[in-house]
Structure 1
Amino acid sequence: MGEAYKMESGNRRNLYLVTLSVSMAMVTLGVASGWPTVVLPKYKNNETKVDINKDSTATMLSLIPVGFAVGSLSTGYIADKFGRRTIILASALPFIIGSIVITFAVKAWQVCITSFSWSCGTGMVSTVVNYYFSEIADKNVRATLSLITGFMFKLGNLLAMSAGPFLSYEALNYILLALPIIYGVACWWIPETPYFLLRNDNVDGARKSLRILREYNDEKVLEEELLALQANVKNEMKHSSSVQELFLGPQYRKALIIGAGLKITQMLTGAVVIRQYLGWIMDETKLKMEQSVVIIIYAAITFVVSLMSSVLVDRVGRRPLLVYSYMGTGASLAIVGIYFFLQEVVHVSFETLTTLSFMPLAGIILSNVVSTLGFSSLIFIIPAEIFPMNVKAIAMTCLGILGCVLGFVISLAYQRIKDFCGLAVVFWIFAAFAFFGGAFCYFLVPETKGKDLREIQAELQGASYNAVVVDDKLENVVTNNDENKEATEMEELNKKESV
């Protein structure tokens, strides 16, 4: 698309306003994610009117990946049928339903309904947000906008974990009732993506969407970009949008390997389970610090570091950040494993362990810092960039479900491996997968910084990419092989619409 993405004839003001609006949904996700961490002690200390025991609590937590999978599955169909904007707006509904139920809940099954409902909304938003931004943003800020939403998620998480212990159970639930209403209203004005509109032959709608997003002063530049997008969409939609197409089409094979490899290595570095069990892990050390203080420090540092990731990603590039963050995470987790090896296997003296008691917390926080700067943030951006439009929704849904399955397996395996082998082995396993992730990214993951979606597809698909080519002036479209006639007809149609 080349010069069409230059912003001299427009600006990104509305693009950032759209990002801010959608970020309100991510704040809601962050607060909902931190809710169990804050509420479980209240249940344990009988500070609520809910009749719930340990088994019911475990059931509630086990429903989170199930609800996420259901939400993610529904997203693939709705996003392709009714649009990306529709999914973002519709995701507020399960949050509202869950918040209403928990506000009046007195039984454990009602809490389970809330957990399932909130995780459905989380699955919907998490799946759609990044490819929404991949389709509305120009290539120079695409990753930055996605990382801003990640930063807002961590802000919600921090707010829940830092303020939640000091709020009443009822007040916390009222906040979670208000948040989805706020983001539903805030996102009402956001435009549908021009890619989706062109996919459905809505040229006028795509033109209006681009006009809102780019605020072009020169209509000629807008029409040039519209023409380039049409060529891109036409090329990507030559194939079907089925699951069979995604898994059997050879042109998607490299994107599938990259997407699955990133998701598997990200999950198997153990970030989620470490966060869930952070308080208990710290209890195994000789560090004298309250659990609540540890959790707040962990969440606060994550929040601050997420600010830096949004700055680095479009300056340093995706691939270097992926490689170095995986390697840094592996080294940090290996250090934590060394501490527990000294404690569990070597049985060093209490005095020595007390001297080294900073190692587990420092290693966990350092791994969190490095991963947040790199793969933990990019894991949601790169898949949205590497899959073409016809299978993007399906691919993102499949990756979301893969993450749910891995999260469920890791949660089950963690305690068993810990009991059988000790925490040293647990952390060394996590470290090994992190090192593997670094090597995987070095050899297989391409750099997508500064490339538009058409260029990325051309690189991934190689010789099999039969592209619609746009000339330097973007005044006409020509195609490879036998598509010249169809492209000319498209150009003539656009000329008539411009008159």
Structure 2
Amino acid sequence: MDPYSERRRLLDADDAGADDPTGVLSEQDSYLSKVKNRNLYLATFASVLGPMSFGFVLGFSSPTLPELTHSPDPRLQLDDIQASWFGSIVTLGAAAGGLLGGWLVEKIGRKLSLMFCSLPFVCGFTIIIAAQNVWMLYVGRVLTGVASGVTSLVVPLYISEMAHERVRGTLGSCVQLMVVLGIMGVYLAGLFLDWRWLAICSSIPPTLMMVCMCFMPETPRFLLSQGKRREAVDALRFLRGPDAPVEWECARIEDACQERDSGFRLSDLKDPGVYKPLIIGIMLMVFQQMTGINAIMFYAENIFEQAHFKQSDLASVIVGLIQVVFTAIAALVMDKAGRKVLLVVSGVAMAISTTAFGVYFYLMARLHPGKSLGLLILESTGEEADANLAWLALASMAIFIAGFALGWGPIPWLIMSEVFPVKARGFASAVCVLTNWSMAFLVTKTFQDMMLLLTSAGTFWLFASMCVLNVIFTLAVIPETKGKTLEQIEAVFRGESGP
């Protein structure tokens, strides 16, 4: 039997069982029971070295800024404005990288895009290592930002298009897990290494990614969209193991990819199957950044100094460890609890913690009326009242980081990789990544200004109100994607009934 006839036979059998959910599920379960995930895990590991790399980029400014602001070399000494740019300029590069990544994934594919983005990572850190002036530091940060933007778009797509529905949530959550591992790693290394050696260490993960990706396949969905059926079958056989009848899965994907022949056009934005998930993706990225997470992580050590902790560098490592633990928990329960439940729990936890953190700064300002109510940078007074309030700041930060890691950290990226139709995936993902990093720049760059304008307490209460809106948005708008194939999710947005 020729491949086309076999594909139609498989699809007709699938459609015939659509009115019998038990039959369809048993067929799908029968297929998945023969799947071996070892190679899928290997491919996921190779790809998530990219998120680990941009975790190093995100965390790099926290241990580095105190060194550079007190650098003995006047050419590299940063004032407050330059330090602010050093922390935030990476997000501008990442926004540009998101647009570049959206173009790359459609032109050269997911695998080659990942291999390409390791180059600006390594080049950027090399320029930082060799920096002789502030502008070289800026250029290095921009290049690593571009690589981060490409990575943040491509890796979730690569994993979602490789993984099957039983493990897609868990593997998709590994993206954020590796980001926070990178952040914690650079915080920990910053305790022992100066900023140049830190940059050398940060260039190791992207180098490993380029090497490892040489041995991994392109995603079956992209290969089928390019008419490369034999390569797609080979990729599926690599990812699913030798015992799985991959023709069954290939037939389902191939039928969904047929509409890709015409390519994406702006007129497709009138299609509810395109504009509905796009709006959800954009709003997820806006709300994620409006929790204030990037401002908090970029200036983690400064925030702990303001919160009256002397060993702020060690406190940042503790924050990184909390992120890793709770992101790992999210990855383990993602395909059981579902996306919506974790988003709601996460949003409630962050709303409570940022409210409490605002109360802490408000009370500290009342205790020190002679100090600035805007950017509350307090000297250690040793007063008993300060010591009694210290637990509030520590608990608030811990709950916020844990809450973010449990839901609003990994899930927006996971949902972005799940909800877009095949033909619009590159464009829509680029728009979402651009939105995310633009908002990250806006929040990070204006964070100190907000502290001055709204006071420290007011700034955290603003973040708390955003967290409340996150919860309302989740309950009202976001669909549950747990256990659904990418094709079934697309059918939901089109208003079609699917198996």
Q: TM-score, normalised by structure 1?
A: 0.87
Match of 2:292 in 1: 270
Aligned partner of 2:258 among 212, 217, 234: 234
1:38-77 Cα distance to aligned partner (Å, 9 max, x none): 2222222326796343254444334212211121111111
Larger deviation, residues 246-255 vs 116-125: 246-255
Q: Distance in 2 between matches of 1:59 and 1:437?
A: 28
Aligned partner of 2:413 among 335, 360, 380: 380
Q: Distance in 1 between matches of 2:397 and 2:87?
A: 23
What does 1:112-123 align with in structure 2 at a 5 Å threshold?
112-123=138-149
Kept in 1: contact 2:282–2:431 (CA 8 A):
no
Q: How far 1:164 moved relative to its partner?
A: 1.9
Q: Distance in 2 between matches of 1:105 and 1:190?
A: 35
1:210-244 Cα distance to aligned partner (Å, 9 max, x none): 011101325xx211211111112124x266423x2
Kept in 2: contact 1:240–1:390 (CA 8 A):
yes
What is the SS of the residue equivalent to 2:159? helix
Asked if 1:452 corresponds to 2:485, the answer is yes
Kept in 2: contact 1:305–1:369 (CA 8 A):
yes
Q: How far 1:307 moved relative to its partner?
A: 1.5
Q: How far 1:79 moved relative to its partner?
A: 0.5
Distance 1:57 1:363, change over 3 A: closer
Larger deviation, residues 96-105 vs 126-135: 96-105
Structure 1 alignment gaps of length 5 or more: 471-499
Aligned partner of 2:360 among 330, 336, 339: 339
Match of 1:23 in 2: 48
Aligned partner of 2:330 among 304, 309, 318: 309
Q: How far 1:10 moved relative to its partner?
A: 2.9
Match of 1:389 in 2: 422
Which residue type is aligned with residue 419 of structure 1?
L
What is the SS of the residue equivalent to 1:392? helix
Q: How far 1:320 moved relative to its partner?
A: 0.6
Asked if 1:224 corresponds to 2:248, the answer is yes
Kept in 2: contact 1:48–1:169 (CA 8 A):
no
Q: How far 1:423 moved relative to its partner?
A: 1.5
Which residue type is aligned with residue 209 of structure 2?
Y
Match of 2:18 in 1: none
Asked if 1:208 corresponds to 2:208, the answer is no
What is the SS of the residue equivalent to 2:282? helix
Match of 1:476 in 2: none
Q: How far 1:4 moved relative to its partner?
A: 4.7
Q: How far 1:149 moved relative to its partner?
A: 2.8
Kept in 2: contact 1:24–1:186 (CA 8 A):
no
Kept in 2: contact 1:71–1:122 (CA 8 A):
yes
Give the CA RMSD over aligned residues. 2.3
Aligned partner of 2:280 among 258, 275, 293: 258
Distance 1:104 1:205, change over 3 A: same
Q: Distance in 2 between matches of 1:190 and 1:427?
A: 44
Distance 1:278 1:34, change over 3 A: closer
Q: Distance in 2 between matches of 1:409 and 1:371?
A: 19
Kept in 2: contact 1:197–1:206 (CA 8 A):
yes
Aligned partner of 1:364 among 397, 402, 407: 397
Q: Distance in 1 between matches of 2:208 and 2:298?
A: 28
Q: Distance in 2 between matches of 1:396 and 1:227?
A: 25
Aligned partner of 2:303 among 239, 263, 281: 281
Kept in 1: contact 2:87–2:298 (CA 8 A):
no
Kept in 2: contact 1:76–1:397 (CA 8 A):
yes
Distance 1:175 1:357, change over 3 A: closer
Match of 1:13 in 2: 38
Kept in 2: contact 1:72–1:401 (CA 8 A):
yes
Q: Distance in 1 between matches of 2:68 and 2:267?
A: 47
What is the SS of the residue equivalent to 1:374? helix
Match of 1:480 in 2: none
Kept in 2: contact 1:98–1:117 (CA 8 A):
yes
Q: How far 1:200 moved relative to its partner?
A: 0.7
Distance 1:309 1:48, change over 3 A: farther
What does 1:358-437 align with in structure 2 at a 5 Å threshold?
358-437=391-470
Kept in 2: contact 1:386–1:456 (CA 8 A):
yes
Structure 2 alignment gaps of length 5 or more: 1-13, 15-23, 370-380
Larger deviation, residues 106-115 vs 48-57: 48-57
Q: Distance in 2 between matches of 1:266 and 1:397?
A: 16
Distance 1:47 1:26, change over 3 A: farther
Larger deviation, residues 113-122 vs 146-155: 146-155
Q: How far 1:80 moved relative to its partner?
A: 0.5
Kept in 2: contact 1:150–1:377 (CA 8 A):
yes
Kept in 1: contact 2:225–2:261 (CA 8 A):
no
Asked if 1:291 corresponds to 2:312, the answer is yes
Q: Distance in 1 between matches of 2:306 and 2:129?
A: 36
1:296-325 Cα distance to aligned partner (Å, 9 max, x none): 111111112221111011111111111121
Which residue type is aligned with residue 277 of structure 1?
Y
1:117-171 Cα distance to aligned partner (Å, 9 max, x none): 1111111111111011111100010011121232122212111111223113443
Aligned partner of 1:100 among 101, 105, 126: 126
Q: How far 1:188 moved relative to its partner?
A: 0.9
Q: Distance in 2 between matches of 1:191 and 1:48?
A: 47
Q: How far 1:258 moved relative to its partner?
A: 1.5
Q: TM-score, normalised by structure 2?
A: 0.87
Asked if 1:441 corresponds to 2:474, the answer is yes
Kept in 2: contact 1:42–1:48 (CA 8 A):
no
